[in-house]
Structure formats: structure tokens, C-alpha cells
Structure 1
Amino acid sequence: MSIVITGATGQLGRHVVEALLERKLPAAEIVAAGRSIAKLSDFAARGVQVRAMDYTDAESVAKALEGATKVLLISGSEVGQRVEQHRTVIEAAKAQGVGLIAYTSIANADTTGMKLAAEHQATEAILKDSGIPFAILRNGWYLENYTEQLPGTLAQGALAGSAGEGKVSAASRVDYAEAAAAVLVATENQAGKVYELGGDHSFTLAELALEISTASNKTVAYQDLPAGDYAGLLAGFGVPQAFADILADSDLGIARGDLQVGGSDLRDLIGRPTTPMPAAVRSALAAV
């Protein structure tokens, strides 16, 4: 068996490789594929196969997937270019005759109107038309989307957004990575499975701000802004305007409930409770 993890140089991809190793999958059966082999040298030293792969280079994708029985397609990071990049991987997987391709999509992809979801929706459609056995991992928001911004949040004394009183079902990257690993090694047939993945306990951004305040002993208030103003604020901090607009639109999605996930798919896959928001905040503060 050979399981290929695409985008393995990214944070989620690295966590998936680690999760597979922790499940005692033989390292030689794991292929970590990414743009920079140098960034995967630590995995190579542990016996993991390392292959160069660039979503924009069909030849490199085909070579990376040689001999694959299963593939985890981690969605690309280049918003606006991802549909064709994902198509390249899916076509290579089909040519290789893989037994399963799992794709990291977005929560509630079939119902959300978020701009960020459009490329995921298109990729899901390509998968369904491909004839390849597939599983869809509809990942919710990462807790790290917030905790990695804590230094700036504390410095400003405010957490800004456009989410209103909407709740988000966030979980950690490790949680989502362990779920992906569980699907890849499952003995039960995963073809056609669609998992809605999110944290056990949803929270509003006001609740997040209160937790940051309590844990840091510094006053941090949630500042709810019109989407245009929030996008302008992000752009002022150096976020490219087009992506700032997408992030602000995503907050409007939170306000509508688009990133609130019901059910227990994530908890069931990883076999434990998901990482609580307060624990993630306190862990991140300890590292600040």
C-alpha cells in the first residue's frame, strides 16, 4: 500500500504524516509530496518516501502519485487557482487507478454561500464526475486562524471581525489531520463518505475575545464591523485586498451560521473530544 499526502510541506500536511506514523503505518508506505523536498528531509530520515510535487506541474504530480493506492488531496493555498490545480491531481489519480482519493473541502460546502467555498464546491463536483472512489473531508475553521493572531490582538486590545453573533465550530489542525489519517487507514470502505468536521463546542467571536481577556489578564473586546470596513482594516495590515474581501465575506458566513457544524463526525473519527477553544487560547498565550 502507498498513501500519498499532497501539500505535505504545509502545516496540515505535516500533521497528517505525523498522524499516520503515530498509527504505526509503516513509513515506507507513506509518501510525503510537496514543492520543497528540503522541507521534508526530517520525514525522509524516518523512512517516509519524499517526492517533489507542484500542483501547477502535471508531470511532477503524475510522478508523485506513481504506485499510489490512496491519495489525500489537501486543498491548495493559492485562492483563485485551486480548481485547475486540484483537477490536475484528480486526473493523475484517475490515471494511476487509485483506490481512494480524500479531499479537504470546507464545512457545509453544499449549502454555504461563502466566496471561499466556490473552489471547494467546484472540486467536489470534479471528484463526483471523475469516477474515482472518493471521500470528502469538509473541514471547519482552524482554531489557529485566531490563536496565531494573538500577539496582534493583544497589542490592539481588540478582536475585529464581521461575524456578529454567529458561531463557528473551530478545531485544531491536529484534530483535522488525525481525522484525515483515520479515513486513510480505515478498514471500512470510505468511498462516497462525506464528513462534516468541526469542533465539539461552537463559539462566537465575542466569546473568543472574552476568553482571551480572561486568559491573558488584558482587556480584549470584540469589535464587530461592517464587512467593507473589516476588509479595509485587514488590507491596512498588509493582507492583499482580494483576500481581505474573502476573509470579510467568510465572517459574514459565520454570521449566517455557515461555519457551524452539527453532529460528531470529527470527534468520532479521532476517537476523542476535539481541542477546546479555551485550551487552544491558553496554549498559544503560553508561547507568546
Structure 2
Amino acid sequence: MIAITGATGHLGQLVINDLLKTVAANRLVAIVRNPAKAQALQQQGIIVRQADYRDQAAFTAALEGVEKLLLISSSEVGQRATQHQNVINAAVAAGVKFIAYTSLLHADKSPLGLHVEHVVTEKALAASGIPYALLRNGWYSENYLASAPAALEHGVFIGAAGEGKIAAATRADYAAAAAKVIREEGHAGKVYELAGDNAWTLSQLSAELSKQSGKNVVYQNLSEADFAAALKGVGLPAALADMLADSDTGASKGGLFDDSHTLSRLIGRPTTTLAESVKAIL
């Protein structure tokens, strides 16, 4: 059986949808924190088991009979290292044979503060003795496109990435890669640096928004501190605002760029373009 953590999250649901094309529903285990949100999965015949990243014992029980595990990184930045260790310990106890983990693009040398917990998790996987693969995901296009409505309303897209190139891809693109690696054999020991085929800057994103919407949108580059303050000013939690501002600064240093085309080769098709992503949200 194949288990997916965070199965009701954005990425988890997309992975499951992709797996269902070739894997029987009763061979999939959706591990969720809140089973009430997983009723649609159960109705499809998927096995739903409850476990929290913070509860190693519950995860051990949830992984009973599981051969392969897709460990989608926790959303709780600052607690990830401990939470992921719990899952890895549970996988060892349950006899899991293979783990695929969603890490960060070039985690071992990334200028993004997010890289720290991913590196700790990668080391924990190496120490576990379980064969594994690293899915080092770049940025989701949706991370930036979530700001498009406000940018269109005010005519300004703000950030702190300067002219850093961002090789983003959609969640669906990354989900296709995860589904392929967890479904197939032969990926143990692989490190996949996954990113979009065509990198763009936030200035180019603003130009694309202008082109497709007919409204003038310009990019305004801020300092990391000013960008974080602006995000807090519109209601984002302080920790999230600081993380996003730090990530933009990391992008300005090349932290979200990769031109290896590993993702498109892995999924057997080009990644979703910026123009296609903008069209979809408009």
C-alpha cells in the first residue's frame, strides 16, 4: 500500500487524484489530521487513517501494512524537524520500505531560511536506514498568484525578490512528479531538483497580469523588512510574513532558480507556463 501524509491539503489531494489514474483506491492510505475533511476520499474507496505529525504512536498505527510513504512536509514552519522525525521513526517501526519526501529546491545550499528544517529532515531520512528519494520542490506558482487579486485592484505587485529569477511550477506539476516517484520502482537514492521550465521575475509576472487583465500592474520592490511589515499590515501572521519576506530575499539571490528541467523530464511533459497560470486565475 501507498500512504500519503497531509492528504487533504492542496498538494496531497492532487497527488491522490494522479495516483487514482493507475492505482486502485483500496491500495491508497490517506493520512489526515481531521477525518471529517476526508469524506470525499473515503467515498472513493481510499483508506483514511487519522494521525498528527506530532503523534508518533498514532503515525505508527496509521502506517500499518504500508510499503511506500509520501511524506509531504508539514505546514508548521519551526516545528517541521521534530514532526518529520516523528513520522520517520513511525515508518521505521511500521516497516515501511520506501519514503519520498517533499523537500526544498537545492536545500543543501539554499539561501532561504526554510532550508534548515528540510536539511535536518533529509539527514534524518539518511539515518533511518529506509530507502528514500528527495523531491526538492521549487516554489509553487500559486504562492505568488495568490497576491494577484490585490495587485489587480491596486495596480501594484509588491515583493522583495528584486530581479531574481523564479523557476516556479504549479502544485499540479509537482504532484505529478510525486505520484510518479511514489508509484514506480527505481527512485530510491535519487535527489530530484524540481522547478519550472521557464523562470520569471516578479516584474515579468506583473507584466503578464497587465497583459491578460488589461489593467496596469507594476512591480514595486521593497526591502525585506518593509515587505514583511506590509504583509503583517494586511493581516498575515508575523511568522508567515517573515518567512515570505525571507523567501523573497532568497529568491533575489537565486534561491528559487533552476534550469535543469528535471521536473518536466520526470513528468513527461512541459511544466505549466506563467501565461497559463495567470489565465487560469483570471
Structure-1 separation of matches of 2:257 and 2:246: 15
TM-score by length of 1: 0.96
> Any unmatched runs of 5+ in structure 1?
none
Q: For residues 4-34 of structure 1, give each alpha carbon's deviation from its aligned partner in whole angstroms, at most 9, with x where no partner exists.
A: 0000010000001101002x20111101111
Structure 1 residue runs of 4 or more that deviate by more than 2 Å after TM superposition? none
Structure-2 separation of matches of 1:269 and 1:33: 25
Structure-2 separation of matches of 1:57 and 1:63: 10
Instruction: Spell out the pairing of 1:131-170 with structure 2 (5 A cutoff).
Output: 131-170=129-168
Cα deviation, residue 53, structure 1? 1.4
Cα deviation, residue 271, structure 1? 0.9
Structure-1 separation of matches of 2:239 and 2:202: 23
Partner of 2:76 in structure 1? 78
Partner of 2:268 in structure 1? 271
Select between 34-43 and 175-184 the one with higher mean Cα deviation.
Answer: 34-43
> Any unmatched runs of 5+ in structure 2?
none
Cα deviation, residue 66, structure 1? 0.8
Partner of 2:241 in structure 1? 244
Select between 121-130 and 175-184 the one with higher mean Cα deviation.
Answer: 121-130
Q: 2:170 aligns with which of 169, 172, 183?
A: 172
Cα deviation, residue 67, structure 1? 0.7
Q: CA RMSD in A?
A: 0.9
Q: 1:255 aligns with which of 252, 264, 271?
A: 252
Sequence identity (%): 50
Partner of 1:47 in structure 2? 45
TM-score by length of 2: 0.98
Partner of 2:280 in structure 1? 283
Partner of 1:203 in structure 2? 200
Partner of 2:121 in structure 1? 123
Counterpart residue identity of residue 6, structure 2: G
Cα deviation, residue 262, structure 1? 2.2
Structure-2 separation of matches of 1:76 and 1:10: 10
Cα deviation, residue 149, structure 1? 2.2
Aligned length: 282
Structure-1 separation of matches of 2:37 and 2:240: 26
Counterpart residue identity of residue 158, structure 1: V
Cα deviation, residue 191, structure 1? 1.3
